[in-house]
Amino acid sequence: MYEPYPVPEIAREHKQFRYSSLWAFAKQDLRLLAFFLLIATLIGFGTGYLGPCILFACALFFALQMRSLYLVNDWISNRPYDIPPNLDGIWGALLFNVYRAQRQERIVQAEMVGLIDRAQSSLVALQEAVVLIDENHQIEWWNPAAERLLGFQSLDRGRSLLTILRQPIFIEYFHHIDDAPDGIKMKSSVFEDHYVQVKMTRFGGESRLLVAYDVTRMHNLEQMRKDFVDNISHELRTPLTVLSGYIETFTDQEDINPRWKRAFDQMQSQTRRMNALVNDLLLLSRLENDKSIVKNQIIDMPTLMNQLFDDAQAYNVDYGHTLNLDIDSHCDLIGSDSELASAFTNLITNAIKYTPKGGTVTIGWHDDGEQGILTVQDTGIGIDPKHLPRLTERFYRVDSARSRQTGGTGLGLAIVKHVLMQHNAHLEIESKENQGSLFKVIFPKERLYKML
């Protein structure tokens, strides 16, 4: 038969207890009292002292009960984990029940402790740092990996987490953990040139679980990729300048052999494309690497919008679209003017490029009191909504042939995304195939400068 826990010794000895009611134990006591009274009555009649004999019998029974009470108290107070004294009657039943309940509780407790031990030893064995932080932001527990990766020491128990991990990027993350669902990457405070990915999760109200792991290898690989693209773009710049210089000189010659004219024209357009590609790659790499780009200039929006509009008109000469400018906000922007101008230009040239001749392109700047919204709307070829989620990836094109034909590098929207990220802004795209597109750049309130 299945027994969930070992049967205590006392249970074997008093097996009948399991099947008897409390009345059965009370009857044992009553039988003993009746026996004492019978003997006392017989002796009392024989000696002529019935009253004192009965009194003596009651006193004896009471004394035995007091002894049992004393033994019960002694066991509970001094030896609660030993097998209890073997008592009859109601005291024995009471002792057995207390012992059984206590035994059960100890077994459950042992199981819990075992489980906690197992959980703890698996956390200790982890390569990832695990830290428990209470609702007052104080450190409750951490595993050895946290000492290796984050530099925790035994004295840190009970200290505030923010006094140990003091990097501004971490403090910012600590106060806004929902803004970075994947956590953050930060420099290790223990090893120079090492990086850790840190992620926090809330549990039980305001307590938090912090998990951190070493991402130095991934960081280095990513850096190598960036450096490679950066270097190769720089290296390509000089030969490209030389080539396009010569090609331009040859193309401009009036006595050029017509057989070569076409070839030189093609060379010129391809070197222009390569130049555009190299410039876009360099800009992207600068946006990724240089976080210190000035982002707090006050940008006079009517001036910038008019400048963008003039540039758009110059670009529009070959397309013949109707261009509109629509400004109904008195807000200016706070940010980096050259970066933002380059992002907006990308959106506007795309609208012009991807609209068949004779279409309409409208550039707008509005605010709704909470957000600033720059819009670029066209009546062009539109985009199938299935492409929208991937549109800002590098080199992602809906139609590669058309993009190349229009001189596109496939990097325009990736640049837009990076510039906007640096300005806490985001891009929303509404589009349907053959029904035109609407690109909205949304700036948060803190990026708006209101003129009085």
Decide whether 237 or 397 has the Cβ nearer to ligand ADP. Answer: 397
Cα atoms found within 13 Å of the Cα of residue 397, Cβ hemisphere only: 17
Decide whether 404 or 445 has the Cβ nearer to ligand ADP. Answer: 404
How far apart CA 344 and CA 306 sit, in angstroms, is 12
Pull the structure tokens for residue 127.
């390569």
- What is the pattern of x (binds ligand ADP, CB under 6 A) and - over residues 233-272? ----------------------------------------
Q: How far apart are the first and last CA of the chain?
A: 86
Among 69, 72, 94, 91, CA closest to 82 = 72
Decide whether 336 or 346 has the Cβ nearer to ligand ADP. Answer: 346
**Range list of H helices, 216-319:** 216-252, 258-289, 301-315
Minimum distance between the CB of residue 381 and ligand ADP, rounded to whole angstroms?
5
Minimum distance between the CB of residue 312 and ligand ADP, rounded to whole angstroms?
13
Minimum distance between the CB of residue 403 and ligand ADP, rounded to whole angstroms?
3
Could you say whether residue 380 binds ligand ADP (CB under 6 A)?
yes
Cβ contact 433:347 at 8 Å? no
How far apart CA 162 and CA 105 sit, in angstroms, is 40
Minimum distance between the CB of residue 116 and ligand ADP, rounded to whole angstroms?
54
- What is the pattern of x (binds ligand ADP, CB under 6 A) and - over residues 418-447? -------------------x----------
Contact set for ligand ADP, span 384-423 (CB under 6 A): 391, 397-399, 403, 408-414
Measured in residues, the chain has a length of: 452
DSSP 3-state of 10: helix
What is the size of the binding site for ligand ADP (CB under 6 A)? 22
How far apart CA 128 and CA 283 sit, in angstroms, is 36
At which residue do the structure tokens 């019998």 appear? 57
Decide whether 356 or 444 has the Cβ nearer to ligand ADP. Answer: 356
Minimum distance between the CB of residue 193 and ligand ADP, rounded to whole angstroms?
34
How far apart CA 273 and CA 242 sit, in angstroms, is 15
- Residue 26 vs residues 30, 64, 88, 90: alpha-carbon distances, Å: 6, 14, 10, 5
Decide whether 353 or 447 has the Cβ nearer to ligand ADP. Answer: 353
Decide whether 307 or 342 has the Cβ nearer to ligand ADP. Answer: 342
Minimum distance between the CB of residue 407 and ligand ADP, rounded to whole angstroms?
8
Contacts of 375 (CB under 8 A, 6+ apart): 362, 363, 364, 365, 366, 438, 439, 440, 441
Decide whether 129 or 413 has the Cβ nearer to ligand ADP. Answer: 413
Contact set for ligand ADP, span 339-368 (CB under 6 A): 346, 350-351, 354
Binding site for ligand ADP (CB under 6 A): 346, 350-351, 354, 378, 380-383, 391, 397-399, 403, 408-414, 437
